[in-house]
Amino acid sequence: MNASSTLRKRSLSVRTRSNGAASAVEGRTADDDAESLGEPVSPSARLVEEYFIVVVIGLGAPINQSSGRAGIGATIACYPRFHSIQATDKDGTLRWVRTTVDLDYHIIFPMLDTAAVLVNPDQAVEDYVASLSTKPMDHSRPMWEFHILDFPTSEATATAVIRVHHSLSDGTSLLMLLLSSTRSAADPSKPPALPPLPARTGAIYVRPRPPMSAGSLAFALWLWSFVLLAWHTMWDAAIFISTILFRKDTQTLFSCTDHGNRRPNRIVHRSLSLDDVKFVKDAMNCTVNDVLVGCTDAALSRYYYRKSGDNKTGKEIRLRSVLVVNLRATTALHAKNTVDRKKSSLEVAFTHVAAEVVHKIFGRKAGAYIVDRMFSNTTTLLSNMIGPVEQVEFCGHPVVFIAPSQYGLPQAINVNFNSYVNTVRVVLAVDETQFPDCHELLDDFVESLRIIKDAAEKHGSHDMKA
């Protein structure tokens, strides 16, 4: 890397927010700059104060400082939330306030131990990303950072680590913003090709009415679908409320053991074959997401029984995951069995509205309490995001892999999947104190997919003989 004086190198020393930083921009209060006041900060953006999205991107070429800086400035930094901070107006309303973006602050070239990088560059990157989870962000600046690690690892020539506060963007929005900043590697004049959108484009409660010629049975089934929707929604809402109040998951080695302190979160990842996942999907007549949920269940089970020595297979263990579902119409998340039923439920909309209503009526602390209890009383978070189906370039740099994750939730383990070209990247964010052997858990994901694929092959062979 040719690091010129334009982008200053510095160690990761991040200034924390002072008492007046929330209502001041470079010494000016929000009232002094009324023209820059934007819309109020949404309740959902205020509910999780220390929740950060982290995306690790492997690059296939050394960092080109000029093109990288220009690309980030022309795309990411121009996005409204990425040149705004939160400030309180004269009425006490927290609003987005536009401010100037200093790219020298947001693009960081950290100084790492040269010897450690030479001995094990993969470990150096992993350790650095883990260190970010213990560092706060300066609330007097837009809360996003690009950390550039310009040395080769086993998978990439260089690594970019994007850290963004959740109030600026959720995981799906951030990934779509990053993808909108990429170009097709085959033809840089074109945006990358993405998989086709799901068949469902409207709200879940929109059920097309069958034509009169379809008969009375079709009409009855149409009405019955609304009955199921109402029943599933009421049942799921009751489960959600009980989870907030008292219903906890079984205490296992996956449970968070330290809710009060911020311990380092280690983010590790491994690639799985998308072709293998699709083979299982076709053999079992399900979806890609169904396969990934099954793979997660199998991997966690393998790890649990190996580490705990618990061979009581009949023992009931409640281990639930918070499934991240995008409420926008552009993407969807599907799963099998339990999640199939969730498709016929308005639980997602209910939980979102409930949190915001409580926030508006009882204040931010009450809304944050609901979110904290939801995550504290469940075991993990599971998400799956769709990436490009072709090789892409980011600011002129070929992208080798994309590994999105997060930290800041009161959970000891989170599981994220992201597809890119012909691979699926499984990304784990774990409490490194509880999971010092997290790479073994990645091995369990690889082995679980292999076992599932073998079973699918046998299932297919059996069907052909039958």
**Domain extents in the chain:** 21-169, 208-247+334-375
pLDDT value for 198:
59
**Number of neighbours of residue 293 by Cβ within 10 angstroms:** 25
342: pLDDT strictly greater than 70: no
Q: State the Cα–Cα distance between residues 350 and 342, nearest whole angstrom.
A: 12
231: pLDDT strictly greater than 60: yes
Among 322-331, 351-360, 369-378, which range has the highest average pLDDT? 369-378
Residue 356 phi/psi, 5° resolution? -70, -35
**In 3D, which of 2, 31, 48 has the Cα closest to residue 324?**
48
**In 3D, which of 297, 264, 272, 271 has the Cα closest to residue 430?**
264
Q: List, by residue number, the catalytic residues.
A: 166
Task: State pLDDT tens for residues 82-123.
Answer: 999 988 888 888 889 999 999 999 999 999 999 999 999 999
Residue 369's pLDDT band (cuts 50, 70, 90): confident
pLDDT value for 324:
67
Helix runs in 246-287, H state only? 274-284
pLDDT value for 192:
86
Q: Which residues pair with 86 in a beta bridge?
A: 96
pLDDT value for 318:
87
Residue 10's pLDDT band (cuts 50, 70, 90): very low
Rounded alpha-carbon distances, angstroms, from residue 380 to 121, 174, 315, 340: 29, 21, 20, 19
Radius of gyration of the chain (CA): 23
Q: Are the C-beta atoms of residues 293 and 287 closer than 8 Å to each other? A: no
Task: State pLDDT tens for residues 269-324.
Answer: 999 999 999 999 999 888 898 999 999 999 999 999 999 887 766 578 888 888 76
* Higher pLDDT among residues 37 and 144, named by residue: 144
Question: Regarding the domain with residue range 21-169, which homologous superfamily does it belong to in the CATH classification?
Answer: Chloramphenicol acetyltransferase-like domain (3.30.559.10)
Q: State the Cα–Cα distance between residues 318 and 191, nearest whole angstrom.
A: 44
27: pLDDT strictly greater than 70: no
pLDDT value for 37:
63
**Among 254-258, 301-305, 422-426, which stretch is predicted with the lowest mean pLDDT?**
254-258
Express as a percent the part of the chain with pLDDT over 70.
77
Q: Are the C-beta atoms of residues 336 and 15 closer than 8 Å to each other? A: no
The mean of the pLDDT values for the chain is 81
Residues 159-185 as b or e (16 or more Cβ within 10 Å = b): bbbbbbbbbbbbbbbbbbbbbebbbbb
pLDDT value for 47:
67
β-strand 265-273 against 94-98: which pairing, if any? unpaired
Residues 308-325 as b or e (16 or more Cβ within 10 Å = b): eeeeeeeeeeebbbbbbb
pLDDT value for 36:
52
pLDDT value for 1:
40
pLDDT value for 204:
56
